[in-house]
């Protein structure tokens, strides 16, 4: 691999097609996985862009994270030329370690993203080795028929890259996550001249971020947030805790600078923050002189001389700010008059979890500051004027909105049309879009789905343990343990365990007695000679118990019948 490479071959065959599809990220925010295919339909070469996770909602109990189902591209892995990572956010790289073994392809990333992936890999005990090929900022590399240029943009993490993907059929521009920030605090600003030069080459399609496509104007700058944080911290009378996205190195730098200016000490709580700071120092985004105190030092310092940097801005139950809010943190406590700054936005779906933590902090007597009260957070995604600038530079023939829910994609498509783009396509996960040759159209549908990381295992969504727990959370479980003699007589009273089921019906009758009556009546209704069919007896009891509870409660629980056959008398 070299920084510069020759243009891709100009050879084209009549059967060749250039296609785009997503296994995640279209019609949702999170779990970004994009595929570009080139060649004849039966033997395309593929390039994957990003491999991320999303977070489970309350109807997915026990799941740690949600991962994409890669069965389509896993079956094509001999034709998968590589995985390109645009940046190091979890919704773009979080599934790499879990799912790369099903791909076994080269991984291309710029230094900060590569460093974050390597650090995360180290936490797995070195049992997996990944073929990470580090690409310099602005570098180029070839992967099969694709030549990829990493185009530096700005976002809420170091080294966000747009991708100019060149093929003999034309150039595609995949924006990744981006915004236009002339003063990003950390890293260099976007290069408008380079973007315009790519547009001058001629761009077939732009596949672009839609997160803020419904918001007019321009995103504020990280520098504006830095000024606000500096003033708030300087004026605070007591301890200040700040929770944020751990990966926002610019925000970490701004908080550290504000802490130093106020004559305070910076305390860092949360493994993710330690990991990001370490990689940021190694890659030059924070100075080697960057210093902070570990959480064990909190109790040694005067409360008016501390700023605590905390993980957990999205309501994660075991993160630092959640444990502090519940007064369960081993080293850090907050009290009346202390201040907590939520220097973040709440990702859709996390509202209830964040609200619980904020309410717990309010009960402790702390003062809460969110982006509703002050400019303590700015988005990392482009608003409509920034999108207009991008279209003016790139000037694609086709626009494909990505990274957004259906309403975001729709508004992005309308805006692209207003910017003079002749064709727009709002597709969803699994739809395959032919970009070349004309006419562009949806030509196929590929399988997609969701997997769950459940403890140490990766489990399926359909008919998996998370789905079973989801059902249990709604209807509970009844477990019946009973013994029959070989002649079909019930031996003793059956054991009954009811979990998540009311103790009595509306008349006050015991639910356990209702279940016992159903068991007794069912077994007695079966002729003794037929009770030798133990599977039939087990199934009949199961259906009778479910029906009896449903009649009394109005819900059908999960019912398990454990049937033992022994020699003996009733």
393 Cβ neighbours under 8 A, 6+ residues apart? 192, 195, 196, 198, 199
Phi, psi of 38 (to 5 degrees): -140, 135
CATH architecture for residues 17-217+379-460: 4-Layer Sandwich (3.60)
In the predicted model, what is the mean pLDDT of residues 269-291? 96
What are 338-393's pLDDT values in tens digits? Answer: 999 999 999 877 899 999 999 999 999 999 999 999 999 999 999 999 999 999 99
Among 53-62, 207-216, 265-274, 277-286, which stretch is predicted with the lowest mean pLDDT?
A: 53-62
235 Cβ neighbours under 8 A, 6+ residues apart? none
- Whether 17-217+379-460 and 476-566 share one fold: the answer is no
CA distances in angstroms from 162 to 87, 127, 389, 532, listed in the order given = 9, 32, 15, 69
CATH top class, domain 222-369? alpha beta
Q: Given this model, what pLDDT does residue 11 score?
A: 54
CATH architecture for residues 476-566: Roll (3.10)
More confident residue, 531 or 334: 334
Q: Tokens 């995640």 identify what position?
A: 24
Q: Given this model, what pLDDT does residue 513 score?
A: 95
What are 136-151's pLDDT values in tens digits? Answer: 999 999 999 999 999 9
Q: What is the pTM of this model?
A: 0.86
In the predicted model, what is the mean pLDDT of residues 434-458? 91
**H-type helices in 60-103, by residue range?**
71-75, 90-93, 96-99
Per-residue confidence at 2, pLDDT binned at 50, 70, 90? very low
Q: Given this model, what pLDDT does residue 60 score?
A: 66
Structural domain boundaries in the chain: 17-217+379-460, 222-369, 476-566
What is the 8-class DSSP label of residue 207? E
In the predicted model, what is the mean pLDDT of residues 532-539? 90
First-to-last alpha carbon distance for the chain, in angstroms, is 79
Q: Is the pLDDT of residue 5 over 50?
A: no
């Amino acid at each position: 691999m070299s920084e510069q490479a020759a243009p891709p071959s100009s050879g084209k065959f009549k059967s060749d097609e250039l296609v785009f599809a997503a296994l995640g990220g279209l019609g949702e925010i999170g779990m970004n996985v994009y595929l570009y295919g080139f060649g004849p339909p039966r033997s395309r070469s593929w390039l994957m862009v990003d491999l991320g996770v999303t977070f489970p909602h309350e109807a997915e109990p026990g799941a740690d994270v949600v991962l994409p189902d890669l069965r389509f591209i896993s079956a094509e892995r001999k034709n998968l030329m590589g995985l390109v990572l645009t940046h190091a956010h979890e919704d773009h790289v979080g599934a790499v370690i879990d799912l790369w073994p099903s791909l076994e392809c080269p991984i291309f990333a710029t230094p900060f993203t590569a460093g974050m992936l390597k650090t995360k890999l180290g936490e797995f005990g070195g049992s997996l080795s990944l073929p990470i090929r580090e690409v310099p900022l602005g570098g180029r590399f070839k992967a099969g028929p694709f030549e990829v240029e990493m185009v530096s943009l700005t976002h809420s993490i170091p080294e966000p890259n747009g991708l100019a993907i060149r093929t003999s059929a034309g150039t595609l521009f995949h924006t990744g996550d981006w915004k236009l920030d002339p003063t990003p605090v950390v890293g260099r600003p976007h290069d408008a001249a380079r973007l315009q030069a790519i547009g001058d080459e001629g761009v077939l399609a732009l596949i672009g971020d839609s997160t803020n496509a419904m918001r007019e104007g321009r995103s504020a700058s990280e520098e504006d947030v830095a000024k606000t944080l500096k003033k708030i911290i300087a004026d605070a009378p007591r301890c200040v805790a700040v929770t944020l996205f751990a990966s926002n190195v610019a925000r970490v730098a701004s908080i550290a600078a504000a802490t130093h200016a106020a004559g305070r000490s910076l305390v860092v709580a949360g493994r993710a923050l330690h990991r990001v700071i370490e990689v940021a120092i190694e890659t030059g985004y924070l100075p080697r002189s960057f210093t902070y105190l570990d959480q064990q030092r909190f109790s040694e310092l005067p409360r008016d001389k501390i700023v605590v940097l905390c993980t957990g801005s999205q309501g994660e139950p075991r993160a630092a700010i959640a444990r502090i809010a519940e007064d369960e943190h081993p080293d850090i406590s907050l009290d009346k008059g202390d201040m907590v700054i939520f220097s973040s936005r709440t990702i859709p779906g996390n509202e209830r979890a964040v609200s619980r933590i904020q309410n717990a902090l309010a009960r402790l007597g702390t003062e809460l500051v969110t982006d509703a009260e002050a400019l303590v957070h700015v988005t990392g995604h482009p608003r409509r004027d920034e999108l207009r600038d991008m279209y003016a530079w790139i000037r694609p023939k086709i626009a494909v909105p990505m990274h957004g829910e259906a309403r975001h994609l729709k508004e992005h498509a309308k805006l692209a049309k207003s910017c003079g783009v002749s064709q727009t396509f709002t597709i969803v996960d699994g739809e395959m879009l032919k970009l070349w040759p004309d006419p562009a159209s949806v030509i196929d549908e590929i399988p997609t789905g969701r997997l769950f990381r459940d403890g140490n295992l990766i489990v399926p969504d359909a008919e998996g343990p998370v789905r079973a727990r989801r059902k249990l959370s709604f209807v509970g479980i009844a477990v019946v343990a009973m013994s029959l003699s070989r002649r079909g007589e019930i031996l003793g009273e059956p054991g009954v365990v009811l979990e998540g089921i009311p103790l009595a019906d509306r008349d006050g009758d015991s639910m356990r007695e209702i279940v016992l009556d159903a068991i007794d009546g069912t077994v007695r209704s079966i002729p003794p000679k037929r009770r030798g069919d133990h599977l039939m007896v087990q199934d009949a009891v199961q259906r009778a118990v479910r029906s009896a509870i449903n009649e009394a409660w109005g819900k059908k629980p999960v019912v398990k019948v454990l049937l033992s056959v022994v020699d003996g008398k009733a």
